[in-house]
Structure 1
Amino acid sequence: MARSQAQDIIRCQYCEDEPAVFHCVPCGDELCPRCKVFHLKSKVPSGHNIVRLSERLHPTNQIKMCYFHTSKAYEACCKDCQVPVCITCIKEVHGEHTIGEILDLYEKQKTETAEELTKMKTQLKSEIIQRIKDFKRGENEIKSGHENVREKMKKQAQDLIDHIRVILKEALQESEKDERKNREEISQHKAEADKFEQNLDQMIEKFETLTESSHPAELILFRKQNPGIFQQLKLPDKLNIVMPSFTVGQIKKSQNEQQFGKFMTGDVKHVKSLVKSSQSKRPTLPAKRNTSNKTVLGRSDKISETKPQKRELYHLSCRDERSAYISGKGPGIQLIDRSGTELDNISTDDQPDGLAVMQDGSLIYSDFFDQVIYRVSLNKQKTKLINTEYYATGLCCTRSGDILVCMAETLFHTARVVRYSSSGRKTQEFQTDQTGESLFMNPKFVCENINDDICVSDWKLCKVVVLNKVGGLRFKYDGNVPSRRLKATFNPRWVATDSLGHILIADRDNDAVHLISQDGNFLSYILTEDDGISRPWGISVDTSDNLWMVEQDKACVKVYQYLS
């Protein structure tokens, strides 16, 4: 394009002398009147379209190449599809459609666009300006409102702090008073025990002298003068120490106990001790298992496999090394042995949500919707042991005879684990950690470890939460270990422990059983899908450290040896 250096005048592209007056749209050339004549004589495939230079930038005089056929220009429009088309588009796609002038569609769309543009400039523009003003005003109002609320919060918090200080002072004083009382009582019994030990040492020394260095007559005379001296020895009473506890309460200013928590006093219970005479027959005690040399096998050995008459199995609790209680979909609990033989059948109104065997061999199970824990004695008499405040699921009977229960309110708003005595009296609640944060979201299964730790499987949290015996958080295990890539989210079911303090976890969705230490360190997968297990749910370790397991969908009961 030729331009004058002195003036911004477009010159003819051919002669470069005369000012350009015309523009050829297909060729893009600028022409003077004389060169226009010669330009029209040249032959081009698309023909010439000469317009005045002032009109060359009008949209109708510009060339737009087809999106689908880049070497062809849009020359018409399809009225059916409302799109511009080139010659090739018409041949390949729009041959049977109504074809019209592109300018007609352009003018129609231009008119509609102009109307929308007017609405944008008038209606929408003014509306958005007003809304922006409203938003700014709203920001100022929110800021002012929150400042007022925060001032009220600070004042309320200060009132609450003052209130809690009073409660704390009273609670600490009560604890100190109870501690003094307990210690004084223990001190009295210790003094009695010290005195008994002194008398006993003197008697031992006397007996040794009479039997080793004295004349035979002295022993005979002493025994004659002091008949039945051994039977007369009475040991001081034992002391069963009940630890004090503290249940975190809900913050309600109207109720001090719920606002701060309820202090449960400790107690010193007397357990009478009787010294049996030398002629009395000693009770036979169960032999302790020798666990010092036990190690985890590289591969678990299947001992037995059976399939009871159940559609699905969920829960399992070993009664001893030969039998276990199982339950699944629908009412009823079965007692079976390793071969699958039904030893007993306990009818229930609803599907149980937790099973556990007590120290005397009786069975307890939870009824979720009735909020009741039932006890079934050895002669099959069923009684209501505990009416729970919330919906009860998993159960565990501890070595001390207590009962641990997983609980939640409706929709699991306040999940917790509650400890009851064997008679059904609530003694502890575990709901929050040391910082006041909730420990659980939906606890389902619970067991006790050899160090008195409380191991809880939480479905919704997707973790195993482990507490010490007074409710302090020790650790949370999330199942994500580098040694194996999980195919699904870790969502633990039953948990169990063995004589070495291992924690076993049924990982249903990953077809595995995890083995971790009592401190939360991953040790191994003692069972995986490579061992042929599928969707493990309930697990229990018997008195010989064999693992019993139920598979949910297959409704199988399998027993494995994983320690040697």
Structure 2
Amino acid sequence: MDPQCSGQDIVRCSLCKTDVTPLHCTVCFIHLCEDCEDKHTSDSSKVHNVVSFKQLLSIPSIPKCSMHSTERYKFHCKQCNVLICALCVSSNEHKQHNIVGILEHYKKNQNAIRRDLQELDKFIYPEYSEVISAIPTQRADVEEHTPKMKEVLINQEEALHLEIDFIIQKKLADIDEINSQLLTAIYREEEALINTMEEISMFILDMSLMDESDVCLVSKYRSKNEQFRQNLFKHNISLQNLCHQDIKREKLSELAGSMPSSSKETVEQNNPQQSQKSNSGYTDILLLESPVLLTELNTGYKFLYEVSSWKYKEIWTSGEPNFMKLYNLQGKLLKSIQTITGNTPDDITVTRRGEHVYTDYGDRSINVVCVTHLLLFRIPETKSKTDVLIRTLIRLKGWTPRFLCSSSLDNLLVMMISDDGKQTKIVRYCDSTEKESIQFDDKGKPLYSSGYTTMYLSENRNTDICVADFAAREVVVVSSAGKLRFRYTGPPLTTNGIFRPVGITTDSQCRILTTDRENDLIHIVDKDGHFLRYIDNCGLDYPRGLSVDSEDNLLVAEYYTGSQ
């Protein structure tokens, strides 16, 4: 008799057989009286879950195992995505698989169903309705716009014909001019040769009539043959050819005007959900369905703040105590460097030239560190051991540098706060020269929170500047010119707690990744601020710093464990 379905039978304790049985173990599927509860739960070989019969009625009926008819399903295998019993667990088929309790899995999926239903009903379905309602307008716009595009193309055709006609007429005139110059030169040469021939004829006649017996006359003779030989040469006329290039249809097409290669491209550009699949100008790289842990490094920090990677597969870290450490991907410590002042860096970054840069809150400085095996050039000011070179690049007055990142132009973007803590701004530096300041929106309101809060930043591949504003509970994204693009405050529907972003980075597809420290997960957002997904199923523990390496692998710094 099924203990969960036997409503009219006398319910007895499975151990002492007494009629008073107010309890039930959902793990062992047996009834218990209060006297036998302690005896049953004292078996430490398994975890028991004893509930009242009232609670039992709310627990779903669990069927028997299809492989072992005497056993009920108790677990769920994540790898195989099947329900299994205790005997299935002990078999080799599910060895080393990720096994969870059936009720835990049931409740998790039950919550997911309710959450998905709510999202479908309140957000996704209305959005579809809104998009569909706009289609007639879009269709009318297309039908109205197409004749205009054709008119522009026809006008361009006429303009191209006029330009080609002008060019051809100019070239024809040039050919006529060259022809005239050549003929004039030939005529002049012909006239000179004829005159010389007449002179030779007269000279021949004189020589024929000369009296060779006249000593005086013969003595005065001077030969002109050398002169005549020098003047006798054939003038080769260089006939010029027209050097033309092959007509390339693609080049002519560009002159006629450019447009999307297909209607599909035009439509997909307006679909935020496609941002994960296609970013114009970039090679498509899809997100993994589930994250794969490639390696784990124990850095030994009490508190791990930040991680920054470079193309040579080496990783910089910073935290407490106040050392910056350089590791390779095998976890080998290559270098451990203390700051000049002994203060803990607020933030670190690596430039395109391989320079390691850090901010020192204590003395308001931005400093450059170079390790000799990474140097592309040497820095003259040495303030450490011979194989480590450190120099102060910038020291501020009235402001304190906090967080920073390297840009695509190899500039530095520095987040700083005023001495009174009331103002916050981003300054772009080229070497030590200030090039740009970003502080207010178009309405003159501050873009970022004030006060001594965490605000890591990263430049996206499209040159947007992304800031994780912890105090404001949002990610603020501005263009390279400092114009506000959007503020991301989390997905529209979530069962998680308050969104507090800390670390932030971007990948080759312009996706934005930020750590949600309070909820132990990572948000992935497209370049326009649309939520794509979480990374929430890899056991993250208080994630803080983020970095993406040259192969789009994600590096995560765990604040308390010191792991990455």
TM-score bin (small chain): 0.3 to 0.5
TM-score (ref. length: structure 1): 0.46
- Normalising by structure 2, we get a TM-score of 0.46
